[in-house]
Amino acid sequence: MKIFRTDVGYVVQHAGVVRRLVGDPFGEWTAGDELPGGLAGQRVLAPVVPSKIVAVALNYKAHAAEQGKPLPAEPLFFLKPSTAVIGHGEAIELPPGVGRVDHEAEVGLVIGRRASRVPADRAAEYILGVTCVNDVTARELQKKGGHYTRPKGFDTFAPVGPCIALGLDWSDLRVQGWVNGTLRQDSTTADLIFPVPELVAFISSVMTLLPGDIISTGTPSGIGPLTAGDTVRIRVEGVGDLTNPVV
């Protein structure tokens, strides 16, 4: 089952049928009337407007190796602002003068209810579902400054979507990144250094996570540059494709 946010509100897709979502996707809801034509002709928006995206750095062994960095002893994370969020089909805008800008394919966890100091063995109770995230990064700025907020916080640097997939087993989800039809990233969450329950427990011990917030779980190896005219596609198993042009 998948939840989409469209220009007519939230809808739910199940067994190929799209119905209006009646209620609150983060609370009580039911599937209402069937939407004539399904998603055809509807604008699909970013599935959530998070108060924050908590993005995890160096959470795949191969990515740490390609960056020439040691494996972290505990999760490393940073925040991406809500103003960076765009949806499926919207354009990633390359800022002038920043140099190389990279794609980073990631599995995003959408928080379903307020979470603070959550034990790892209860993490599943706080996750609504899974989405695709592209943690777009101005790589030269990152290397120059040694920090993450500026190089990852530009407007349009957080494509999210196209939906929230419910009921997935996030312990072994395939995640891929494509540019102009060429596969650049390909791994699974089975290779995470810090698995999902540990991430939820660790991050919620520091800050309260709110409904609609996203934990972006890290990117596998194969990151690479984007140029104007490219089309980048992030695919997470069970979720679908998040596709964005680059301008």
| Whether residue 238 sits in one domain with residue 226 | yes
In contact, 87 and 162? CB cutoff 8 Å: yes
Residues 171 and 69 in one domain: yes
Count Cβ neighbours within 10 Å for each residue of 27-59 and write b for 16 or more, e otherwise. eeeebeeebeeeeeebebbbbbebbbbbbbbbb
Rounded to whole angstroms, the Cα distance separating 30 from 24 reads 9
d(CA 195, CA 106): 13
Same domain, 93 and 14: no
pLDDT tens digits for the chain (247 residues)? 999 999 989 999 999 899 999 999 999 999 999 998 899 888 999 999 999 999 999 899 777 777 777 888 999 999 999 999 999 999 999 999 999 999 999 999 999 999 999 999 999 999 999 999 999 999 999 888 778 999 999 999 999 999 999 999 999 999 999 999 999 999 999 999 999 999 999 999 999 999 999 999 999 999 999 999 999 999 999 999 999 999 9
User: Do residues 209 and 116 lie in contact, with contact meaning Cβ atoms separated by under 8 Å?
Assistant: yes
- Tokens representing 34 are 């069937």
Residues 116 and 25 in one domain: no
| Residue 119 sits in the same domain as residue 37 | no
Enclosing domain of residue 11: 1-44
Same structural domain, 170 and 230:
yes
Kindly state the tokens that stand for 141: 């700025």
Considering the domain architecture, whether residues 100 and 217 belong to the same structural domain is answered as: yes
- Per the structure, the count of domains in the chain is 2
Q: Are residue 59 and residue 1 in the same domain, yes or no?
A: no
Q: Are residues 20 and 133 in the same domain?
A: no
